[in-house]
């Protein structure tokens, strides 16, 4: 009899549109916002209804194929920033906007909730996770960084810190994102996160690299299923053409914060021949004004428009980031036929092969210069770089893996037809 009712649920479910609701800081811009937007489009193409709840606008309300839910406003975000900077309580403000979001989630009735970055000055994670723990909805949570594992930082690897495995305290990265200027609440934050994040019964964690998956399995979240779905590249968009003879060294970031290695690029300028042209894309106006001679800089607006053209122009892409969970820019550059020189940090080693780039010890700018000149001197094939990405990092394949996960988790969540037990 139980099998009979399962067949009924499956049959009826074929005629009811399933609903995906994603939650992220942004939608349509920066790396996680683009991922959320594209996952929503994929779900729509597969017959799902798609919603994205987001906290931060970029030049007005974003355009999206999904139905959008705005969380909070600028005033609340500023108040959340104050609580972070002064009291180290990131993720523990924004009570009103989070309560409003929960009402919208109830109205939508999603079959799957997909979390991305729940940090970013717009959500109260305690309120959100308390609500999710009381529902039957499956939760997919993609970790794009390490913030959910620690009492403060998003990238513990840049300090070589391992305290997060047991508890935090005396945080060496207190002044890094999300920066606290006075208080160090990292020990209490670690306890608060552990209680909230381990309260869910139906949580499925996605890591964007094998390295990050290994870190999750060492944390208080080790008892949850962990899937590795690496970031993928939009192959029709990022394609290669013939390179020029001029040695062009390219660096790209949506935000050149400390860990991204802007200071290493400036030092690198003095270690390369003068005929090597260095181009940095994604700078703020202040950073642009402070660039030394010999480095061509471009604003963040230039990073968002036609990024593939920068990759195609480059002889070598250099990524001196001190900590990355994977690095989409490394992948995009290779898709455009450009070999990569990158620090060996986090999941960076998963992005290249000996035929497509070189790994350098983190912080070794002399080694960075040597590797750049080695790559420019020849021996790296644009076809080989492209083939590596086509075979391993096709975005369509990665998104299909997400859709398969949504489908496997969504059975019965909308219908809620009970199993009948006959006495």
Task: Please indicate, yes or no, whether residues 207 and 274 belong to a single structural domain of this protein.
Answer: no
β-sheet with 49-54: strand ranges across: 67-70, 49-54, 19-24, 112-115, 139-143, 203-207, 226-228
63: left (phi over 0), alpha (psi -120 to 50) or beta: beta
The pLDDT, as a whole number, for residue 14 is 52
The pLDDT, as a whole number, for residue 15 is 57
Task: Please indicate, yes or no, whether residues 72 and 215 belong to a single structural domain of this protein.
Answer: yes
Whether residue 75 is contained in a domain is answered as yes
Task: Please indicate, yes or no, whether residues 352 and 368 belong to a single structural domain of this protein.
Answer: yes
Say if CB 201 and CB 133 are below 8 A apart.
yes
Task: Please indicate, yes or no, whether residues 168 and 305 belong to a single structural domain of this protein.
Answer: no
Whether residue 101 is contained in a domain is answered as yes
Per-residue pLDDT tens listing for the chain (423 residues): 444 544 444 454 455 799 999 999 999 988 899 999 999 999 999 999 999 999 998 777 889 999 999 999 999 999 999 999 999 999 999 999 999 999 999 999 999 999 999 999 999 999 999 999 999 899 999 999 999 999 999 999 989 999 999 999 999 999 999 999 999 999 999 999 999 999 999 999 999 999 999 999 999 999 999 999 999 999 999 988 777 778 999 999 988 998 999 999 999 999 999 999 999 999 999 999 999 999 999 987 655 557 888 999 999 999 999 999 999 999 999 999 999 999 999 999 999 999 999 999 999 999 999 999 999 998 899 999 999 999 999 999 999 999 999 999 997 454 433 332 322
- The string of DSSP letters for 355-375 reads TTEEEE-TT-HHHHHHHHHHH
Task: Please indicate, yes or no, whether residues 326 and 265 belong to a single structural domain of this protein.
Answer: yes
Task: Please indicate, yes or no, whether residues 77 and 195 belong to a single structural domain of this protein.
Answer: yes
Say if CB 329 and CB 352 are below 8 A apart.
no
Task: Please indicate, yes or no, whether residues 120 and 208 belong to a single structural domain of this protein.
Answer: yes
Whether residue 417 is contained in a domain is answered as no
> How many domains would you assign to the chain?
2
Task: Please indicate, yes or no, whether residues 172 and 303 belong to a single structural domain of this protein.
Answer: no
Task: Please indicate, yes or no, whether residues 198 and 263 belong to a single structural domain of this protein.
Answer: no
Say if CB 384 and CB 357 are below 8 A apart.
no
Report which DSSP code applies to 287. H
CA distance 254 to 263: 16
CATH of the domain at 384: 3.40.50.2000
CA distance 284 to 28: 20
Residue among 336, 283, 331 nearest 306 (CA): 336
59-78 tens-digit pLDDT: 778 899 999 999 999 999 99
CA distance 205 to 127: 20
pTM of this structure: 0.90
Whether residue 128 is contained in a domain is answered as yes
CA distance 269 to 254: 21
Say if CB 88 and CB 183 are below 8 A apart.
yes
Domain encompassing residue 137:
10-232+396-410
Task: Please indicate, yes or no, whether residues 348 and 263 belong to a single structural domain of this protein.
Answer: yes
Residue among 51, 57, 104 nearest 76 (CA): 57
The pLDDT, as a whole number, for residue 60 is 74
Task: Please indicate, yes or no, whether residues 375 and 306 belong to a single structural domain of this protein.
Answer: yes
Spatial CB neighbours of 33, under 8 Å, sequence gap ≥ 6? 24, 25, 26, 27, 54, 62
Q: Where are the alpha helices (DSSP H) in 177-224?
A: 186-197, 210-216
The pLDDT, as a whole number, for residue 414 is 46
The pLDDT, as a whole number, for residue 379 is 85
């Amino acid at each position: 009899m139980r099998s009979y009712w399962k067949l009924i649920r499956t049959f009826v479910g074929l005629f009811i549109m399933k609903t995906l609701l994603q939650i992220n800081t942004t939608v349509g811009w920066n790396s996680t916002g683009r991922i959320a937007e594209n996952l929503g489009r994929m779900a729509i193409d597969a017959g799902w209804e798609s919603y994205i709840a987001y906290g931060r606008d970029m030049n007005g309300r974003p355009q999206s194929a999904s139905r959008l839910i705005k969380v909070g406003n600028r005033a609340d975000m500023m108040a959340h920033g104050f609580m972070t900077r002064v009291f180290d309580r990131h993720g523990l403000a924004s009570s009103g906007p989070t309560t409003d979001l929960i009402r919208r989630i109830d109205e939508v009735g999603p079959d799957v909730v997909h979390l991305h970055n729940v940090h970013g000055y717009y959500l109260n994670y305690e309120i959100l996770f308390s609500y999710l723990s009381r529902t039957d909805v499956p939760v997919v949570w993609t970790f794009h960084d390490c913030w959910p594992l620690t009492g403060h930082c998003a990238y513990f690897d840049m300090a070589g810190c391992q305290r997060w495995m047991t508890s935090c305290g005396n945080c060496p990265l207190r002044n890094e994102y999300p920066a606290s200027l006075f208080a160090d609440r990292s020990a209490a934050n670690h306890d608060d996160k552990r209680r909230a994040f381990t309260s869910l019964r139906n949580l499925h964690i996605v890591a964007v690299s094998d390295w990050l998956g290994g870190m999750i399995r060492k944390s208080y979240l080790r008892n949850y299923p962990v899937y590795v779905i690496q970031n993928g590249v939009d192959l029709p968009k990022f394609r290669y053409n013939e390179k020029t003879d001029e040695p062009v060294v390219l660096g790209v970031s949506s935000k050149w914060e400390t860990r991204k290695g802007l200071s290493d690029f400036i030092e690198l300028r003095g270690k390369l021949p003068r005929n090597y042209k260095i181009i940095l894309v994604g700078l703020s106006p202040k950073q642009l004004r402070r660039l030394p001679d010999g480095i061509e800089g471009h604003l963040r607006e230039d990073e968002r428009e036609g990024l593939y053209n920068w990759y195609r122009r480059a002889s070598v892409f250099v990524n001196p980031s001190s900590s990355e969970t994977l690095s989409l820019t490394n992948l995009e550059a290779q898709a455009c036929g450009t070999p990569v020189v990158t620090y060996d940090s986090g999941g960076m080693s998963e992005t290249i092969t000996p035929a497509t780039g070189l790994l350098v010890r983190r912080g070794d700018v002399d080694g960075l210069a040597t590797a750049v000149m080695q790559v420019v001197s020849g021996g790296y094939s644009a076809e080989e770089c492209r083939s590596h990405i086509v075979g391993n990092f096709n975005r369509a394949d990665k998104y299909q893996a997400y859709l398969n996960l949504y489908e496997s988790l969504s059975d019965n969540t909308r219908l809620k037809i009970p199993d009948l037990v006959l006495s």
